[in-house]
Amino acid sequence: MKQKEILVAGGAGFVGSHLCRRLLDDGHKVICIDNLHTGQLNNIESLLKYPGYTFIKHDIIYPFKYDGHLNEIYNLACPASPKDYQAQPIQTIKTSVIGTMNLLNLAENNHCTFLQASTSEVYGDAEIHPQSENYWGNVNPIGIRACYDEGKRCAESLCMDYHRQFGTKVKIIRIFNTYGPNMRVDDGRVISNFIVQALRGDDITIYGDGRQTRSFQYIDDLLSGISKMMQTSDDFTGPVNIGNPDEYSILELAEMILQLTNSPSKLETHPMPIDDPKCRRPDISLATTMLNGWKPKIGLEEGLKGTIEYFKEIHKPISA
């Protein structure tokens, strides 16, 4: 395999750090940029041993200059947890809009392929279930989640406009709830929250009645989908849903984590957050067709076991 020079924006984050490792293991040269607002240096500490790895602290809302020639750019730079993006909404939308435009300009200058990590949040509180790529979504454009939802929708628009106007080679994936090692303890998303609370013996925080549903994808399945997306022909832009169609209620998730951690934690209910989607499940028909038969392989229980072991290593369990 010919060595490529690859830029990963947001490469110190949860997904980005895993992607950097996979690209390095495939023999490529990786330039990781991250402003470390939500990314973590400990995620990339083990990557520093690779001779082809470079980390640069940089915020993509400012143009990035690179002296070499890039073959691929992956844009994963944006806070993905409601806790994080609602704390800095203006920074979040600037990252999705201005930051994406800066990286698209870089891709155009290098004549390289650009992958945009979009999100299932573009579907909002969906009125169609499951969600396929031709559904335009039900998003509140002035709500507290809009900085992320609408920012990502605008980023997709920019990708397609660069493709139509300049012929930029773009790939858009819509990532559904993904979990695994390298998630932050204070990430604020449901799986990390539940695992940390269970390990501490704290009450498990359930919003609403817990009957709202989500589809959870293990990080390895996402990486496989990303790799197959980048192998598609230049005329295929997506967007493509990358997620696991197995659907669980939040209550079912909580009970599974309590069982796997053998935790004495109890369930504690709180009011439902504003604009929180009632259900989320990807239609992956397009991915299976266009991404060489891609389907998720790791079930929720198997993925949770590995994730729980990761959190046990970085957080003292309740039995200690």
pLDDT tens profile 83-105:
888 999 999 999 999 999 999 99
Residue 261: which residues within 8 A CB-CB, separation 6 or more? Answer: 195, 198, 199, 308, 317
Structure-model confidence comparison of residues 263 and 275, the more confident one? 263
Q: Is the pLDDT of residue 317 over 60?
A: no
Catalytic annotation, residues: 148
> Is the pTM for the entire model greater than 0.85?
yes
- pLDDT tens-digit readout, 196-243: 999 999 999 998 888 889 999 999 999 999 999 999 999 999 999 999
Q: For residue 72, what are the β-bridge partners?
A: 6, 113
176: exposed, middle or buried (Cβ count in 10 Å: 0-12, 13-18, 19+): buried
Strand-strand pairing, 247-249 and 213-215: antiparallel
Residue type, 254: A
Query: What confidence score (pLDDT) does residue 277 get?
Result: 73
